Structure formats: C-alpha cells, structure tokens
Structure 1
Amino acid sequence: MSEITDYELFAVPPRWLFLRVETSDGRVGWGEPVVEGRARTVETAVEELFDQHLLGSDPDPIEDHWQAMYRGGFYRGGPILMSAIAGVDQALWDLKGKQLGAPVYELLGGPVRDRMQVYGWIGGDRPSDVADAARERVESGLDALKMNATAEFRRIETPAAVAAAGDRLAAVREAVGPEVGIGVDFHGRVAKPMAKRLVRALEPHEPMFVEEPVLPEHDDHLPEIRSSTAVPIATGERHYTREDFRPVLEADGVDVIQPDLSHAGGITECRKIASMAAAHDVALAPHCPLGPIALASCLQVDACAHNALIQEQSLGIHYNEGSDVLDYLADPSVFEYSDGYVDLPQEPGLGIEIDEEYVRDQAGDIDWHNPVWRHDDGSVAEW
C-alpha cells in the first residue's frame, strides 16, 4: 500500500494556488485549491487537512477522505473549507488516474462526448470595447463568449444605465451574428429591484444566459426572474455543496448551474451536483476563471455529465497578468481550441503535465485581491 508522504503549495501568478501531492511509490498529483483573493486563507486550510487527515494515509479511498475532510470538523461548508477540499480532491483523483493508467472520467463511468465546447471572456470588470474584442475572439476560433453586464450598479438605476447595458450586448450581437453564444454576467452587482428590468433590456439580443442575476443570498428571487423572461438563468459559482444547490433546483429557479471545481468540493462533489441538476433538467456549465489544473478537473466532470453544456476557461481573461493558463503546462496543446471546442484530455489522471520547473520559478508572495468599489455617494458597491 502506498501512502501520502509529502505535499507542497505554490502561490503563482496571476492569482492561483497549486497543490502538489507525492506518494511513497513516487506518484505526483496536482490540485488547485484557491479562492480568488483569499489564497493565503485557503493555503492554511489545506495545511490543516493534511496535518489532521491525509499525511501518512493511503491516497486511494477518495470518497472516504472527502467525507472525513468535510464531516470531520464540526463546522463545515463555505468557500474556504470547500475550496481546500476541492484542491485536495483534484490531486487525489489525479493520483488515482495515474495509478490505474486512465483519465479520471474513465473512472467515473466513461465519457459521453469526445470534446467540450468552451467560451472566452471579453471586456473587463467595467466592460468596454466589447464589440471589437468579440470579433477577435470569434476570429481566434471560439464560438461562445461571456461579458460582464455592468460596472457598479445602484439599487435603483436610471433608464440610461439600463439602456447602456442593452446597447453593449447589442453591439456584440451585431459584431458576431446570431450563431455565437453570448453569456452575460451580472456578477451579483444587480439588486432585486433592477434584475428583471436589466434582463428585459438584454432579452431582445438573445443572450446565451444571464449569470448570477442576484446575489446567492437572494436565490429565493430567482424563480420570479426566471418566470419573467425567456432568457436562461445561470448561477452557482458561489454555491459550495449539494445542499447549497438543492433549494435553487427544487424552486425551479435556474436553467444552468455553474459549480466551480476549485470551490465546490472538487470532482467528487461536483459530479454529484451535476447529477442532481440533471434530475431537474438543468444544464451544467462549470465556473472556471482559474488555472490549468482547475480547467482539467472541470473537463473530467464535463466528459461524463450528459447535461454539461459549455465550459468556462480563462485563457486571455483580464485577470491573467504575468502568466496565463498554458504557461504552466509542459504540453500546452492539450488545451488547443478548435471550432469552439477542446478535445477531452487523453492522458491518465487529470490529463495534463504540469511544468514543475516553471511553477517553482513563478511561485512567490502572490497577494491578489479584488478591488473594493464604491458608489458615487461613497458606499461600498458590489464587485
């Protein structure tokens, strides 16, 4: 029997945390446990999990490790613990696949598709020049995009602010035509009184979906928003467990769920979340504005989830300054996009080979935090 003998954590640019796990028989597994802007906190949580549960143990019983990490503490759930568990879970699955010589999706029942559609970001936190950026993305080979709907948005906004959001989407639609999907992310910036008005302004331009139209703490408002529009409603990047998703699914308030494989308990939990959604005829589109390990983990679940719709990926996203997704891979061609799709990884485990030398060279005191926005009156705005 092999055992977990060592682990290392690497904070790397632009804002990621990588986990390297080593076993007594020489295998190495990688995970990406991070909360954007809280990497140091998650790092400490990962260290606690290894010290309490994992060092010296057999890496094989992944489900049992997951239950011990989750249920072994009296306090559970939330972004920090679930992101720490997620990265560990990814690494354990990577080890398991390498032990058995198979991609993780083969161990989950096998693939239901050969490739996965992906989308790319256009615009920044305060979206601008989106039409030109959309053309460039489509010319580069993508056929689906996502953009932020607004910058700061007050609880009751002016007709001009609502119209400006509609005009931006109209410009993108005109630039790329009707065959390109365009997701519009409200990013939780829109309060309940404005959500339906803003969706109504976007609806004529047929977005692929509107994402997080209200903050997760106001999920009870989603069924009303959904019933007021023909635009599909997406949410889930700030939901961390099956228990978080259950009320949204049971209330029939969502069309697309977006669990994050680095926030929502990793492959083990997100596979179960995907199955829950399928039972409610809800699509899966994992959230992933992160690095290559997170993306590889998403593709393992996408591969065997029949309701997987499309996959977010962060290549060229506005956050990626200093290093990007492909820079950390020994073979970047594994994420080569063609006709808007990426082929499923074929190699064992997560299907990627991390360039460990580059990781060690880039690792350092990376301390990314999201900006704190304020409205014109000085009050804090949702970012």
Structure 2
Amino acid sequence: MRIERVETFQVAPRWLFVAITTDDGITGWGEPVVEGRAATVATAVAELSDYLIGSDPSRIEDTWQVLTKGGFYRGGPVFASAVAGIDQALWDIAGKRLGVPIYDLLGGAVRDRVRIYGWIGGDRPSELAADAERQVAAGLTAVKMNGSEELTAIDVPASLAHLVDRVAEVRGVLGDSRDIAIDFHGRYSPAMARRALPLLEPYFPLFVEEPVVPELSFQLGEIARATPIPIATGERLYSRWEFREVLASGIAVAQPDLSHAGGISEVRRIASAAETYGVSLAPHCPLGPIALASCLQVDFATPNFLIQEQSLGIHYNVQTDLLDYLLDRSVFTANDGYIERPLGPGLGIEIDEKEVRRAAAAPHNWHNDIWRHADGSFAEW
C-alpha cells in the first residue's frame, strides 16, 4: 500500500481539510489549519506531499519523524499544523485498513464517554445568561466564556468589575452542579492576571485558560502559586518540548490542539508527559469535525483526560457549523454533557466528500480581528 494522492480543501467557516488517498482506495482525513493562515498551511502540506507520495502510510511514526525533522528547520504553528493534519489522516487510514477505531491502536479505551463543554458569548458578549441557559437546555454540564474585551497592561477597576459581574451572572444560571471555564485568551498582562484571579475564586471556575501569552509562560508558576484556581494553557504550544517547562510550572490543565501540535502522535506524547506532573489533558478544539474526531480518539485512550472543547454553535461558525460536512451527524450527539465512544473505524466519522469539494470551490479568507486600544496601539485579540 502506497500514498497516491494528497489534497487540501479550504472550507467555510475557517477550516482546512486534507485527504490522503492510497493506491488501494482508502482515504484518510485530517484537519491541518492555523486559523487565519489556512492558505499558508495548505502550501506547507503541498511541500510535504513531495515526500508523502509513494510512501507507506502505515509508517506513521517514521513519517512524523521525517516530516518534523527532515527539513532541518523545525517547529512553529504553520509547520506543526501541516504535520498535524497529515498525521491525523495517516491514523485514519490505519484504523480503516484494520477496521478498528484509532483508540484501539493507542492501547484501547479507558472510558466509555467523554465530557464536553460548549462556548457561550463571544469576545463582546451581550447575552451571556441566555447563552448559558441554551447550553444547559442542550444538556451540557460545562461552558466556557471569554474573560474580557481588549485590556491595557494595567487596566481600570471597571474592567475587573465587568469580568466579575459576567462570571457571577453565568454562575447564577449554572448553579453549583455545572462548570464554567474562563478564557483570558492571552489578553491579560501578568499584573492584570494576578489582580483578576483572586476576584474569581468565589465562583470556582473549572479553570482559567491562557492567563498570559505563551511568550510569558515563564511567569505561569508565579501565577499558579498565587491562586487555587486551576490554570490551563497550551493552545499555542506546538510540541512536547514547548510543554516541558510549562508542565513543571504548576499548571493544572494542558490544552494542546490536535490540529496544531503535531497531530494524534504528538498530543498523545504530550498527554503522557502531562500525567507525570499530575496535569490533566483538555484538548483545544474550536475547529471542525475532523479535529474534534481526532481529539476524541485521544481522549478515549488517555487516562488523565479531563474535558473536551467542541465548536457547535461557537461564534466563529457563521453559516457553516460543526456537523455540516458529515454524512452521519449523530456521531457527535451529546447525552447529559457527554459524547459516547464512537465505534467506527479510524476517526469514527464519515466525511461528506461531495459537500467538501463543493464548499472548497469558494474558499474562505477568514482572519481574526485586529484590535486597538483607545490610544491607537495594538491590543491582543
């Protein structure tokens, strides 16, 4: 069996899919994307395809090693994401060829269902309570919200009061039997994070995510030691080496992205490294169905898994949503806040290739907003 064809599809709302087809007709799917840089990642996949065409798709680890190290220069979001999508597709092929889910190839399932959470509100939410009620009505037991709009390095007290009011409003809807996670999105300076976290302690967040930008990860230890709130980070870390110091800093939750951090192969290793520090795994996934399916395969085989992000109804999904490229949309159905273990081979999903090709004929050009402070200077998005 050899790889015969590698194709990429830039599809709405902001996703990039890759299909790898073998000479005996098996197609594996992956989702290699950097949000806002989909075309750049597609070019990287095309360059890596020079090695892939004619190679043996079953040599997943060897291919990962060659793709990540064989070009001398390593790492970074574009390169790691291109490899991630390819890796997902190769695992999908392996599972389909053997007729088993990928989690069986990772040692077998360690749980029967996976807890998920949904997003409420956007960057400038105005109906948080209604959004929280909607997610509760949908059966979810956990939600996540953004913690602020743009912030200065040391912002006015009103910005913190606004944060607390919003969290209190959502906690009032959820009660004490459900969870709320708060995403700081790297918008907080270390000083602002230290001010904000104690104010949130009475509301018992499941975790606070990315309290500072990844460039300031060396300060995570100080931040984690200053609060009992579990600290989560990792969506902008792309390898086990980048996680090494972060895991030792005292964070509680590692959040590698299966479409950014080297795919199933590397996130599986990051999860194992996290376990040695007592850190839980909660993969980052505000993306499409292939990314989520990849996350679930790892989640079911990972002892230290905590909870899974998913994008159904997220504010980025305009006109096209999570289920729109699936033939069987029931695979991601949540019951009581959990997704049951998929039994299908490979990633456990069936992609509607006809719909993917139709959508790719009009590729998106999504980019995140550029924010500015009142003085005109750049603000973290």
Task: Give how far 1:193 is off.
Answer: 1.2
For structure 2, which runs of at least 5 residues remain unmatched after alignment?
none
| Matched letter for residue 325 of structure 1 | L
Task: Give how far 1:365 is off.
Answer: 2.4
Q: Secondary structure of 2:232's partner?
A: strand
Q: Would you say 1:133 and 2:131 are equivalent positions? A: yes
Task: Give how far 1:296 is off.
Answer: 0.3
Q: Secondary structure of 1:25's partner?
A: coil
Q: 2:104 maps to what in 1?
A: 106
Task: Give how far 1:127 is off.
Answer: 2.7
Q: Would you say 1:313 and 2:310 are equivalent positions? A: yes
| Matched letter for residue 10 of structure 2 | A
Q: Would you say 1:178 and 2:165 are equivalent positions? A: no
Q: How far apart, in 2, do the equivalents of 1:279 and 1:19 lie?
A: 33
Deviates more, 1:11-20 or 1:362-371: 362-371
Q: 1:115 maps to what in 2?
A: 113
Q: How far apart, in 1, do the equivalents of 2:123 and 2:91 lie?
A: 34
Q: Would you say 1:345 and 2:325 are equivalent positions? A: no
Q: How does 1:39-58 map to 2 (within 5 A)?
A: 39-51=38-50, 53-58=51-56
Q: 1:228 maps to what in 2?
A: 226
Q: After the TM superposition, which parts of structure 1 deviate over 6 Å for at least 4 consecutive aligned residues?
A: none
Q: How far apart, in 1, do the equivalents of 2:326 and 2:338 lie?
A: 19
Q: How far apart, in 1, do the equivalents of 2:309 and 2:170 lie?
A: 18
Contact 2:280 2:304 in 1 (8 A): yes
Q: How does 1:1-383 map to 2 (within 5 A)?
A: 2-51=1-50, 53-252=51-250, 254-363=251-360, 364-383=362-381
Task: Give how far 1:361 is off.
Answer: 1.3
| Matched letter for residue 273 of structure 1 | I
Q: Secondary structure of 1:328's partner?
A: coil
Count, aligned residues = 380
Q: How far apart, in 2, do the equivalents of 1:281 and 1:31 lie?
A: 30
Q: How far apart, in 2, do the equivalents of 1:308 and 1:166 lie?
A: 29
| Matched letter for residue 222 of structure 1 | L
Contact 1:127 1:151 in 2 (8 A): no
Contact 2:12 2:363 in 1 (8 A): no
Task: Give how far 1:145 is off.
Answer: 0.2
| Matched letter for residue 85 of structure 1 | V
Task: Give how far 1:90 is off.
Answer: 0.2
| Matched letter for residue 175 of structure 2 | G
1:339-379, Cα deviation, whole Å (9 max, x unpaired): 00001211000000001111111112211000000000000
Q: How far apart, in 2, do the equivalents of 1:64 and 1:190 lie?
A: 40
| Matched letter for residue 47 of structure 1 | A
Task: Give how far 1:35 is off.
Answer: 0.2
1:129-173, Cα deviation, whole Å (9 max, x unpaired): 111110111111101000000000110111111111011000000
Contact 2:15 2:288 in 1 (8 A): yes
Output the aligned Cα RMSD: 0.7
